[in-house]
Every structure is written in C-alpha cells, then in structure tokens.
Structure 1
Amino acid sequence: MVREKQSVVIAGGGSTYTAGIVMMLINNQDRFPLRKLKLYDNDKSRQDIVAKACEVIIQERAPEIEFAATTDPEEAFSDVDFVMAHIRVGGLKMREKDEKIPLKHGVVGQETCGPGGIAYGMRSIKGVIELVDYMEKYSPNAWMLNYSNPAAIVAEATRRMRPESKIINICDMPVAIKKSIADILGLKDENEIVDRYYGLNHFGWWTEMRDKEGNDLMPILRDHVRKYGYTAVVDENNPLLEEASWKDTFLKVRDVQGVDQATMPNTYLKYYLYPDYVVAHSNPDYTRANEVMDHREKIVFAECRRIAANQTAVDTSIEAGEHAEFIVQLAGALAYNTYERMLLIVKNEGAIANISEDAMVEVPCIVSKRGYEPLCMGKIPHFQKGMIEQQVAVEKLVVDAYQQQSYEKLWQAISLSKTVPSATVAKQILDELIEANKEYWPTLV
C-alpha cells in the first residue's frame, strides 16, 4: 500500500530531544512517509543549534523531505498534517527553580509532581493553548500530538479551554517502563506485551501483562521487581541507567510495588508514596535539572554543533528516542487507520467506571482515522481510587487557579498534593513560586 506523505511541524525545535525525533521520523519513512518537516521554537538561538544538525541529517538520509526551521507561527503551522509538541516554557532554568524551591521546605522537588509540577503546569497552559490556536488558524484539519509536560495539567486545561480541538495528550514513560520490562522478561521489545493499565499521567498501575500467546507475565515480573525493581540486570551499574536519579527511580519500584502487590506501578508513584525518602535522597543544591544541563544538554548540543561544523552525521551518536517511536506509531494510526492499541491521556467518560467522567485519565485506547476510542478498565480498588481522585482534584484546582487568576485555588492545589505536609508549608512554597514565575504566570489575586 502506498501511503500518502505527511507534513509535520515539531514545536519545541530547540529541545535536546528534537534531533532524536527527526532521526526516528527519517528511520520510519516506510511507516510514516514525510513530504515536509519543520521545526518551530520561540528561542531562535537554541533552535538554530539543533536545526543546523537536522538539516545535515535530512540531507544525508532523506533529501526528498523539504526541511525548514522558523520562529514565525504562520510559516511553521501552515500546510501541516501533524503538530508534534514538546515545549518547555521557561526552559531548564525554570525547571531548576521548580525543583529547588520545594526542596528548601522539605518537599519533593520534581518537574511534574507536587509543587514543582504545579508551577510548571501554570507556565505550560498558555504555551500549549497558543500552539493549539496556531494550528487551528493555519492548518485546521491537523492533529496535535502533545507530549509537553506536565501532561496531566495540560490535558485538563485543553479539555476545558479548547474542548473541540484535535489534540491528543501523550506520555512516553509507560513505554520506557515497558521496554525495561521486556528486557527483564527476555522479550524482543515492548510491543510483545499486551497490557491493561489505568491511572493519570505519571500516576498509574498495570493490572495485567501478557505475551502475544496470552501467557500471564505478572508472576515472573513480580519476583524480579521485589529484588531489582525495573532494572533489567542485577548490576546496579546498568548502563541503561547512567544517570543517578533514574537508576534510583527504577530501583525504588521494589518498595512502590510492595504497597499493592497485585499491580505494577508507574515509577513516578515513588514521589507520592515515599516523599520522605525522595527528599532525604535529594540534593537541594543539585537537582535533576542540573543533571540534565550538565549531562544530556551538553552532550546533545555538542554533537549537533559537531555535525553542523563537519557537514556530516554519518558517525553521529544521536539516536532515535523511545518516545519518538511512540509518536510515529500514534501519528501513523491516525493517518493510515492502522488501529493501534496505545496508552493515551483522554477524558474518562466511563473508561474507569468509578472515577469522575471528566477526569483526564491514562488508559489503553484504539487509535484509527476516527481518532481514539478508550477501552473500559472497569471499577478500580479503593486504594487507587482514593489516590487518583485526590490527584485529579489537584490538577483541576491548578486549572481553576489559572483561569480565575486565583491565589486561593492554587494554595488549595498545593495543599492537597500528597507530597505536601500542610497548608502552612504549601503557602510558603506558593509565595516563593509566585516570585520566581512573575514573568510566566497570570497575576494571582
């Protein structure tokens, strides 16, 4: 079957992940052929570093694809079929503040969880809504595949503020976890696993994992996880987990899974179930943001500069990221009606029977040209129901605060977060976050 070629804009062209996404798109021209690929970012200097390398990569590997990089919304969003969005409003410098301000008060400092995630969400809403509006103005038939964090808050905001828009909110973390699980179980890749999963973004549980023959994989996985978490080998120097924070997160699953041994958890649940452990093992002066700036960002940008200087990417160390593969699979299902089964963040509407209809939940969906159809996960146990409803309320209060410019609503959101010990501490953190985010948040009254 000859597949119609697509036009794609990557919003967040200056991201350290963009070159990997471009590489994945090029590597999958048989599955998702492109006629045009554009990068868009409001930070020209940062995007230029990535764009110059991507131009070389495309010229060498797929010269038939028309390539451009721009900071002009009309140029970027005109004549596109898909918008792939992964923006970071405020950049890594603001992420650093998201992480360090809560830690000063003995609270989890993390980019998507707790007060840091709330702060990031308040910045992201405006940026993502702006992208949706550009898409609808210049390419009204396009789909937006949004993986900008914090995806849960962004999903709630787009549900309310742009309810008719063709936007699908996604996250690659379950895919990354399933890759590790496939390694643990000796499977070819994560696509060999047929699963059932429910929750919110960065806040969910697997209730079932089977292979393609229908064999139950959970008993073997439980035995491994009790000893080694989601690390695929016993050696704690596993090269797959080079960065200390990720290695600790994958190992801590040993304890997270112990809270409900019938399920397998998303790694991010450690921040909600063991916040005291996280704070005790965090360096308030050197957080994940510093780790990324000192490691990934320097390596990726140095390689992009090298490619541009040498005008060749033949021996490049840039690889297609696992989240990029997920995006290609999703875009292909929408474009070519392949009926893929994928985890998406969607309006509940009965997918989890005993959770609010308008909660933005993460569940398996069937994806085709029609869009997505959530699969029913049924009723969930009291433990997960209680945790999910609390976190849904946090996310809704954040969007309330943004729309109403309400100090009180945001104070309530931070107070309600399971990572925060009291309303007193919540207020102290909020006041510091307001000062740090004056350039990005609406004025709260």
Structure 2
Amino acid sequence: MKLAVVGGGSTYTPELVDGFARLRDTLPVSELVLVDPDAGRLDLVGGLARRIFARQGHPATVTTTSDPDAGVADADAVLLQLRVGGQAARQQDETWPLECGCVGQETTGAGGLAKALRTVPVVLDIAERVRRANPDAWIIDFTNPVGIVTRALLQAGHKAVGLCNVAIGFQRKFARLLGLSPDELHLDHIGLNHLTWERGVRRGGPDGEDLLPALLTAHGEAIASDLHLPRSVLDRLGVVPSYYLRYFYAHDEVVRELGAKPSRAAEVAAMERQLLEMYADPALAEKPGLLARRGGAFYSEAAVDLAAALLGDGGSPVQVVNTLNRGTLPFLADDAVIEVQARVGRDGPVPLAAPTLDPLYAGLVAQVTAYEDLALDAALRGGRDRVFRALLAHPLVGQYDRADGLTDRLLAHNKEHLAWV
C-alpha cells in the first residue's frame, strides 16, 4: 500500500509516521512518499521518518520529492496537510483581524477566510493531479479550514474525506477521566468542522448508555478549565462544546486576550525551529516530546483509522469525519459538509442518523454554513465583493464597517497568494 503526504515537510509528519509504525497491523503501509516544495525540510523530516520506521522494525520505504506528480503517482491514498504561505501567513491571519476588533484565528473568522482563499485553489490543483494519476485514490484532508476545503474537493467530484483531531482528542480525554478504554466510548459529535458539540458520551456504541451527565457532574470543572469556559456554561448547555466555540461564546474576551499576548503563530514558529533542529540529529529515532505541544494530538491514530477503513477491511466501522450532509441535518443542503459520526468503508463515509439539533446550535450551524458557501464562492471565483459578502455573513464579523475594513486588510496581506488581486 502506497501513501503520499502532501505537506510532508511539516513538523507534524513524525507524529503521522509514528502512528504508521505503531499501527502497522491496522494499516500495512509498504511505501510512504513525502511531498513538499521545501527540499531542506523534506531532508530533515524524511530522515527522521526513516529512522522511526527502522527503530520500530517497520519495513516500509520512505521517499521524498518536491514534484507533486511524482509523489502522488500510484498512491492508494493522499493525505493533505499543507499550509500555503507557511507560518508567516498564519501570523498575519492572527493579527490583522484584531485591528478591526475581531478574533484573529487561522481557521475561523476573517483569518480563516484568508486561509481558505489561499488554500482552495492549491488543493484543487493537487487533487486534479491525484485524479490523473489514480482516479481510485482517496484524498484525506487535514488541511484547514477542513470543512471548506473538503467541500471544494467534493464539489469538484473528488474522492475525499475531511479529518480533524478534535473528536478523537475528546474521546481520549473522556476515556481517561472515566477510567475506560477509548474504544469503549462513542461520541454523539455533531456540527461543522471547528463548530461542534459532544451531545453524548456513550459506552459501547451509538445506542449505549450515555455517560455525559455523570462525566459533567464529576469532571465538569476540569473540562471547563480545558475549554477556558466557566463551569456554569457547561452545566447550562448540558453538552461539551469544541474549544473553538469560545471564539463565539466569549468573543470580546478572546479579542482582549489575543491583543495582549504573542500570537499562537509566533509560538508555533519558534517551536518549529526547535523541532527541525531536533530532526537534524541523526541519533533521534522517535517523535520528540516537544511535538505534543505543536498541536495535532492523536492525528496519526485518526488518520490510520480512516485510511484503513477506506482502503481495506481495517479501521473502526464508525468514525468522526467531514463529509456530505445528505439529509443528516435537514435544515442544511444535502451538499453541505458536516462533521459527524459516520460509517466508513471502501465506498466512503455514510453519516449516522442524528436526532433533531437544538435551535441554539442549529442556528449557528446554519449561519456558519451560509458563510462557508460564500467563502468557497470567493475562493473559486475571487473578487472583493465576494470576500466582503463572506465576511459580512460570518457571525464573528457581521457588521458592514468591520467587513469592509477586514476585506481591505485581507486583500492587502494576501496579494502574493491570490492571482485575482
């Protein structure tokens, strides 16, 4: 089985390689190709990947290339984890929105739109190369904003599934708090990428006993602290929101916090420099502990599980993925992309039936889906007015003067990445 990772020079990659090595019985990879335009990073990451495989006795070969066509040739699955513009672009996404009093974040709000505009055309170009090389190959997208990018891929007719590590992170955390194995827990996870709620934590499967009320009673303070939300909010909601919901539920507080400290992009850039220095050490043959602070926890387990289910008979039969709505949430169009539990097999994911979504959540999901529709239109066709419309529709913006100011800043900071500016 051949897998290609586009964005293989990422400092995330050793996390992925470690998962491939540990979970070889679930996903028998024989060849791993790392694709990245940065040859220097590829050499460092590729060398560590080979050492990780060798240390764990994994027989797969690791090759590196800056040629995407060569990299995806004959691949059974292609994982996308790229960042157009690198950490420098992320730094901008997290800072200029603050000038307009809005959250600066790389996956939602104005910064998330900027990332989508830069990313969608590049991803679609890569996907066309994959289709020419092997039309049966699956594309697994970990590139943010996952919902918009996955919708772009599916709308263009590609065999694609979106993947995020939020659900698997909650599953692991809840299992630890409850003293259970993660495999024993099924999450009633629903919403859009980075806009989700855990409405139940069930033992044994979708119809199992709901442990969420007991979990909140016993551990609500710890969960609320991790989310940086008051315990009272969780008690009143009776669900566990994704930590991205804090941008919506405590917007002004978050803006003040972000304006008073270094950006997350600056922290990650410094961390990446340290990681790359570590990766250059020929004695290093495992993912370093520092990588856990980089983000993407449990990404490898989720990716292996999904690829195994799509390509063969391995993997969990039910997984959280980003896929077409197809009536799951009846207030959204069938071609909207949602993040839910789905049965996954060789023919792709099929969302599980979902109970009626409370209007408190359905309203926000509908509004952000409308924004995503407009964001994708702007990414595909360009134009200042389309960017403005998407920003005006976003609940973290929603005022015409802010949308105007943000549009000007977005275009000024991203001209080198947007052919139509």
Alignment TM class, shorter chain as reference: over 0.9
- Partners of 1:431 and 1:255 in 2: CA distance: 39
Instruction: Give the match for residue 252 of structure 2.
Output: 276
- Asked whether 1:323 is paired with 2:290, we answer no
Aligned length: 414
- Asked whether 1:352 is paired with 2:329, we answer yes
- Partners of 2:216 and 2:388 in 1: CA distance: 39
CA-CA distance at 1:155 after TM superposition:
1.8
- Asked whether 1:443 is paired with 2:415, we answer no
Unaligned ranges ≥5, structure 2: none
CA RMSD, Structure 1 to Structure 2 (Å): 2.1
Q: Partner of 1:109: helix, strand, or coil?
A: coil
Contact 1:402 1:442 in 2 (8 A): no
Instruction: Give the match for residue 369 of structure 1.
Output: 346
CA-CA distance at 1:354 after TM superposition:
2.7
Q: What is the aligned counterpart of 2:56 among 43, 58, 61?
A: 61
Contact 1:354 1:380 in 2 (8 A): no
- Partners of 2:248 and 2:73 in 1: CA distance: 42
Q: What is the aligned counterpart of 2:267 among 291, 294, 299?
A: 291
- Partners of 1:182 and 1:63 in 2: CA distance: 29
- Partners of 2:154 and 2:233 in 1: CA distance: 31
- Partners of 1:380 and 1:215 in 2: CA distance: 20
Q: Partner of 1:136: helix, strand, or coil?
A: helix
- Partners of 1:19 and 1:132 in 2: CA distance: 23
Instruction: Give the match for residue 194 of structure 1.
Output: 186
Instruction: Give the match for residue 313 of structure 1.
Output: 285
Instruction: Give the match for residue 236 of structure 1.
Output: none
Q: Partner of 2:82: helix, strand, or coil?
A: coil
CA-CA distance at 1:406 after TM superposition:
2.3
Unaligned ranges ≥5, structure 1: 1-5, 232-246
Q: What is the aligned counterpart of 2:106 among 99, 106, 111?
A: 111
Contact 2:76 2:138 in 1 (8 A): yes
Alignment of 1:172-187 (within 5 A): 172-187=165-180
CA-CA distance at 1:188 after TM superposition:
2.6
After superposition, give the CA deviation of every residue in 1:137-190 in whole Å (9 maximum; x if it has no partner): 112221111110010111222232x12x1111111112112222222222233x
CA-CA distance at 1:321 after TM superposition:
4.6
CA-CA distance at 1:216 after TM superposition:
2.2
- Partners of 2:327 and 2:233 in 1: CA distance: 27
Q: Partner of 1:282: helix, strand, or coil?
A: helix
Instruction: Give the match for residue 310 of structure 2.
Output: 334
After superposition, give the CA deviation of every residue in 1:114-134 in whole Å (9 maximum; x if it has no partner): 001010011110121122111
- Asked whether 1:402 is paired with 2:379, we answer yes
Amino acid at match of 1:252: L
Alignment of 1:249-264 (within 5 A): 250-252=227-229, 254=231, 257=234, 261-264=237-240
Range moving further from structure 2, 278-287 or 75-84 = 278-287
Amino acid at match of 1:192: E
- Asked whether 1:216 is paired with 2:213, we answer no
- Partners of 2:230 and 2:310 in 1: CA distance: 34
Q: Partner of 2:180: helix, strand, or coil?
A: coil
Amino acid at match of 1:167: A
- Asked whether 1:43 is paired with 2:38, we answer yes
Q: Partner of 2:259: helix, strand, or coil?
A: coil
Contact 1:256 1:270 in 2 (8 A): no
Q: What is the aligned counterpart of 1:392 among 369, 374, 387?
A: 369
**Cα gap change, 1:284 to 1:410, in 2 (>3 Å):** farther
- Partners of 1:209 and 1:253 in 2: CA distance: 21
- Partners of 1:368 and 1:134 in 2: CA distance: 24
CA-CA distance at 1:404 after TM superposition:
2.5
- Partners of 2:233 and 2:130 in 1: CA distance: 40
Q: What is the aligned counterpart of 2:358 among 360, 369, 381?
A: 381
CA-CA distance at 1:94 after TM superposition:
0.2
Q: Partner of 2:331: helix, strand, or coil?
A: coil
Give 4+ residue runs of structure 1 displaced > 6 Å after superposition: none
Range moving further from structure 2, 222-231 or 169-178 = 222-231
CA-CA distance at 1:212 after TM superposition:
2.0
**Cα gap change, 1:129 to 1:256, in 2 (>3 Å):** farther
Identity of paired residues, percent?
Answer: 28
**Cα gap change, 1:119 to 1:167, in 2 (>3 Å):** same
Q: What is the aligned counterpart of 1:129 among 124, 127, 140?
A: 124
- Partners of 1:365 and 1:228 in 2: CA distance: 29
- Partners of 2:409 and 2:287 in 1: CA distance: 46
Q: Partner of 1:145: helix, strand, or coil?
A: strand
- Partners of 1:71 and 1:225 in 2: CA distance: 47
Q: Partner of 2:377: helix, strand, or coil?
A: helix
- Partners of 2:406 and 2:413 in 1: CA distance: 11
CA-CA distance at 1:42 after TM superposition:
1.5
Q: Partner of 2:363: helix, strand, or coil?
A: helix
